[in-house]
Structure 1
Amino acid sequence: MAEPKLRILQVMRAPVGGLFRHVADLTRALSDMGHDVGLVVDSLANDAQTEGKLAALLPYASLGIHRFAMPRVLGRGDLVTPLGVRKLARSLNVDVLHGHGAKGGFYARLAKIGGGRAAAVYTPHGGVLHFSRASRSGRIFHRLERMLMGQTGAIVFESAYAQKTYSALIGEPTCPTRIIHNGLTPDEFVPVPPDADASDFVFVGELRDLKGIYVLVEALAGVTRPDGQRATLTLAGDGPHRATLVEQIGKLGLTDRITLPGAQPARAMFARGRCIVVPSLAESLPYIVLEAAAAQLPVIATNVGGIPEIFSGTAGSLILPGDAPALQQAMQRILDDPQSAQAEMAVRLTRIESSFSLASMAGQIEELYQSLLLKT
């Protein structure tokens, strides 16, 4: 017997980074399965790139793309938007409200207060997990999480790390939980060979301190090629700490060794380097590690978040976050022994091919939706 067609509203704040990648992939996959999907996004931080990404999703969003004010920190929109989302969900007669990230999760579950037939599903994507209990914001967000547990049909964690961290910070969830890893499409497993003039290393991500950018630049300073030439780096991305990063690059005399092409698609940037470096200080389950490994690039990464789950079988090569000397040594090893780096890459590729597919991710989430609706 075929499963019933669902009406699903995905709620998120800003269409950037891995969170948007996850929602976009899930939207396309659910639409291809025959379900009706809509999106709720922020109206405050849109730009041309944002609008282009959303326009590309329109053919898969049969329930439309709807904009509400979603302030990055607590603000007036946090009082008004949940009411708007609830009204929208009822007018669209949705079966599932799936909130992504801290704000998306709050709005989806706050929209349940006062009744409504839709099941509320929540995926943290890091979000509240990155707030310390010692900070005022952390205490507020963690308290809200506990208050909203009763409105939560299920929580989807993209890694075992996220599940463990959530329980430690907020408390053991009283609702059902699932660990469902992010997944890749078949075309992402096509190898990306380096350009003839590729840098030795490439970083792709937001330029902010949490991504370990300062540590990476410091580490690069002491790395040399076997021929005695200084190693080079392409830093692809943009973000709030770009100016201070450029200042650091200048002070260390690395301007001629580092290229800053700005924000670019990850796969296009893979050809600009021979090894990708992910020096993050904190992560959940970063797509960039999956994408680079699937494209058959050697990967240097830190031992944070769910990265060890991706590196299963090769986790011994992970380094401590914030440790510039250790990162320098890892980068030097790649240049000194490329054969070992390729062998490790092959082991990691096999792991990702078997455990991180989009079909598996979407299928498990669809199954969760259906199971929740059977209980209503």
Structure 2
Amino acid sequence: MEDRPLRILHCFRSPIGGIFRHVRDLAKEQAAAGCEVGVICDSSTGGEHEEKLFQSIMPYLALGLTRMPIDRSVSPRDIPAFWRSYKQIRSLRPDILHGHGAKGGAMARLAGTALRVNRYRVSRLYSPHGGSMHFDPTRLSGWLVFRLERIQEWATDAIVFVCEFERDAYASKVGAPTVRSEVVYNGVGESDFEPSLPNPDAADFLYVGMLRDLKGPDVFIDAFARAERILRRPLSAMMIGDGPQRDDYLTMMTVRGLGQRIRMAPAMNIREAFKLGKTVVVPSRAEAMPYIVLETLAARKPLIASDVGGIAEVLGRGSKAMAAPGNAQALAEIMAESISDPEWAKRNMPQPEHFHEVFSSQTMAARITNLYKELADFARVESR
């Protein structure tokens, strides 16, 4: 590279959940390494909590924050959205365009390819983050999504997968990548590795995440009730998050008579959330490499999870802390055992030192930024 800072633009749709956390961590680490970083994302998603998160990363965004309406599903409104994003990207003159998720990936690769047609060298990267990999390839919608994924490879310089599971899912559903690909595990920052102690009145179990069936809140509620029956005594739980099915889960708790023992609260800072529960439960039906798993283990809190996505790559294959996805009875049995056995967490959680070595944001950002530099250097040589 020339003797100037690497200019990086991260493109994604929804500023909530794991993708937003991933980009925030990358932005901080890359800015600290001397890069100039910017973000382009949707303006219609997120609330007060997300606005605070944006404010926390603004000092790291030398290329600024651009927000514009970007639909979740494919629609005719994508055309003006992509045109606006292209003009903004062109004005910022990035060396790297990294698209996260299906919409962000399309935005970065289309804009980057248009810039290349105009003889502007820019490297185009894509990270699926689970997203499109959750589609069923036997359905027409899934078939179309995976064909689009394959077509877009011609406009891609590298694909970055967040875990081996995601890479394998891509190979199975789309095909083995025809471009360079790397597996770089998600990581969390040093502040996340500070141990978190629960409040004296903390609930036995804690759910933190989107309130939608894909993330398994209904499985959590069902498993909680079953765990009470196994132990033959009442327990307590907290559910923290926002989402389109919140009222459905509230009704489910009320009908089962659990309204007094399971409390709900809106999304909040994860460190504050951790104080409200003793053991975190991640009952998802599908994931890639969920940040809630990494944040929980970094804070040295016990974790129970569904065996989905890359979670087994963190907890270990065959871990006794995992249940089959959607199996409320199996999840309940683990929850009950974690309550009745004081040594359960010690036996089933990974060693903190090894976990830190593999899953820190410094490790993640260093590997991704080194990939950026290699691609940017190659683009510079190729353009001569």
TM-score, normalized by length of structure 1? 0.95
- The verdict on how the C-alpha distance between 1:226 and 1:249 changes in structure 2, with shifts beyond 3 A counting, is closer
Alpha-carbon distance in 1 for matches of 2:254, 2:268: 23
2:26 matched residue in structure 1: 26
User: Any gaps of 5 or more consecutive residues in structure 1?
Assistant: none
Confirm whether residue 12 of structure 1 aligns to residue 12 of structure 2.
yes
1:262 matched residue in structure 2: 266
Offset at 1:5?
Answer: 1.8
1:353 matched residue in structure 2: 356
Q: What amino acid is the match of 1:285? A: M
Aligned match for 1:214, one of 208, 215, 218: 218
Instruction: Give secondary structure in 1 for the equivalent of 2:242.
Output: coil
Instruction: Give secondary structure in 1 for the equivalent of 2:15.
Output: coil
Alpha-carbon distance in 2 for matches of 1:369, 1:316: 38
Alpha-carbon distance in 2 for matches of 1:32, 1:69: 30
* Residue pair 1:226, 1:336 contacting (<8 A) in 2 also: no
Q: What amino acid is the match of 1:351? A: H
Q: Deviations over 1:324-362 (max 9, x none)?
A: 1101101110011021223323x3434311210111101
Confirm whether residue 170 of structure 1 aligns to residue 177 of structure 2.
no
2:376 matched residue in structure 1: 373
* Residue pair 1:5, 1:35 contacting (<8 A) in 2 also: yes
2:245 matched residue in structure 1: 241
Offset at 1:3?
Answer: 7.3
Instruction: Give secondary structure in 1 for the equivalent of 2:277.
Output: coil
* Residue pair 1:202, 1:273 contacting (<8 A) in 2 also: yes
* Residue pair 1:293, 1:348 contacting (<8 A) in 2 also: no
Alpha-carbon distance in 2 for matches of 1:304, 1:338: 26
Q: What amino acid is the match of 1:267? A: R
- The verdict on how the C-alpha distance between 1:302 and 1:23 changes in structure 2, with shifts beyond 3 A counting, is same
Offset at 1:2?
Answer: 9.7
* Residue pair 2:319, 2:348 contacting (<8 A) in 1 also: no
- The verdict on how the C-alpha distance between 1:370 and 1:6 changes in structure 2, with shifts beyond 3 A counting, is same
Alpha-carbon distance in 1 for matches of 2:317, 2:357: 13
Alpha-carbon distance in 2 for matches of 1:45, 1:300: 29
Identity over aligned pairs, percent:
38
Offset at 1:134?
Answer: 3.2
Instruction: Give secondary structure in 1 for the equivalent of 2:250.
Output: helix
Confirm whether residue 230 of structure 1 aligns to residue 234 of structure 2.
yes
Confirm whether residue 156 of structure 1 aligns to residue 157 of structure 2.
no
For 1:1-376, what aligned pairs fall within 5 Å after superposition? 4-114=4-114, 115=117, 116-224=120-228, 229-312=233-316, 315-345=319-349, 347-376=350-379
Offset at 1:319?
Answer: 0.9
* Residue pair 1:201, 1:232 contacting (<8 A) in 2 also: yes
Alpha-carbon distance in 2 for matches of 1:110, 1:169: 22
Instruction: Give secondary structure in 2 for the equivalent of 1:274.
Output: strand
TM-score, normalized by length of structure 2? 0.93
* Residue pair 1:43, 1:68 contacting (<8 A) in 2 also: yes
Alpha-carbon distance in 2 for matches of 1:34, 1:373: 15
- The verdict on how the C-alpha distance between 1:195 and 1:142 changes in structure 2, with shifts beyond 3 A counting, is same
Of the two structures, which has the highest relative contact order with CA contacts closer than 8 Å and spacing of 6 or more?
2
Q: What amino acid is the match of 2:218? A: Y
* Residue pair 2:9, 2:40 contacting (<8 A) in 1 also: yes
* Residue pair 2:161, 2:181 contacting (<8 A) in 1 also: yes
* Residue pair 2:49, 2:268 contacting (<8 A) in 1 also: no
User: Any gaps of 5 or more consecutive residues in structure 2?
Assistant: 380-384
Q: What amino acid is the match of 1:360? A: T
- How many correspondences in the alignment? 375
* Residue pair 2:11, 2:107 contacting (<8 A) in 1 also: yes
Alpha-carbon distance in 2 for matches of 1:226, 1:77: 52
Alpha-carbon distance in 2 for matches of 1:219, 1:48: 31
Alpha-carbon distance in 2 for matches of 1:195, 1:350: 25
Q: Deviations over 1:158-207 (max 9, x none)?
A: 00000000111111111100100011112211111111111111110111
Alpha-carbon distance in 2 for matches of 1:136, 1:118: 34
Alpha-carbon distance in 2 for matches of 1:3, 1:102: 33
RMSD: 2.0
Offset at 1:373?
Answer: 1.3
- The verdict on how the C-alpha distance between 1:16 and 1:36 changes in structure 2, with shifts beyond 3 A counting, is same
Offset at 1:227?
Answer: 8.6
